[in-house]
Amino acid sequence: MEILTWILLWFGAWTFCNFIRYKKGKPFNYLFHTIFFLVSSVFSYLILEKYIILNLQNLIIGTLCSVGIGLILSQTPTFYKRIRVGRYYPIFLPFNILFQQLFVVAGIYILQMMFMGRYYDFYFGILFTLVHLPVIFLKWARLRYLYLVFTLFCGTLFSFLIRNYEFGSLVSFMVHFIVYIPLIYYLRDERKI
């Protein structure tokens, strides 16, 4: 039952966010992005708290570190002049990552409970890939198939880190954030992934 709640929360939040965020002709709204992901993170935390509580401190530290890196990138002309979503996008991206990482942590522990000692890290990699599958229907997403392969790899890596290391959720958060930076730079727009 918990995994169904997890899936419904994930898809519900992303469906609503993308419906609002990608309306044709609307510019990227930093304030909406930040508030949406903060509220969604708090709401999701309240529902999935027992799976997240032990990693919450690391996730908050990851958010703060990523905002710091985002501040540096927003002052780096070679970076911010290339990206289309705006100079300050890297400052607000960590709130998106926070939301996702809350679900990563909760999903790993829910799967561990479901498989009672027979859990392998690639199980979360598969789940993470499955919840990203809708990207294949987005014709404008240039790297959609590579993105799915990457979600399988990263989901497996996130599970390994979080389950085996005290600061695994912090490292997982930073890996997740850092993966986005070259993608945004290369594609010029996060929405083109």
Query: pLDDT by residue (tens digit) across 65-98?
Result: 999 999 998 888 877 777 767 778 888 999 999 9
What is the pLDDT at residue 184?
74
Q: How many structural domains is the chain composed of?
A: 1
Asked if residue 40 is part of any domain, the answer here is yes
> What is the rounded distance in angstroms from the CA atom of residue 193 to the CA atom of residue 183?
7
- DSSP one-letter string for 7-36: HHHHHHHHHHHHHHHT-TTPPP-HHHHHHH
Give the rounded percent of residues in the chain with a pLDDT score beyond 90: 58
Does pTM top 0.85 for this prediction? Answer: yes
- The number of CA neighbours under 13 Å toward the Cβ of 154 is 25
Is the residue at 106 inside a domain? yes
15 in a structural domain: yes
List b or e across 104-142, with b for residues whose CB sees 16 or more CB atoms inside 10 angstroms. bbbbbbbbbeeeeeebebbbbbebbbebbeeeeeeeebe
Q: Which domain holds residue 48?
A: 2-19+30-192
Q: Could you tell me if residue 24 is inside a domain?
A: no
Give the DSSP letter of residue 54: G
Residue 25 covered by a domain: no
**103: pLDDT strictly greater than 90:** yes
Tokens representing 193 are 């992934």
| Structural domain contains residue 97 | yes
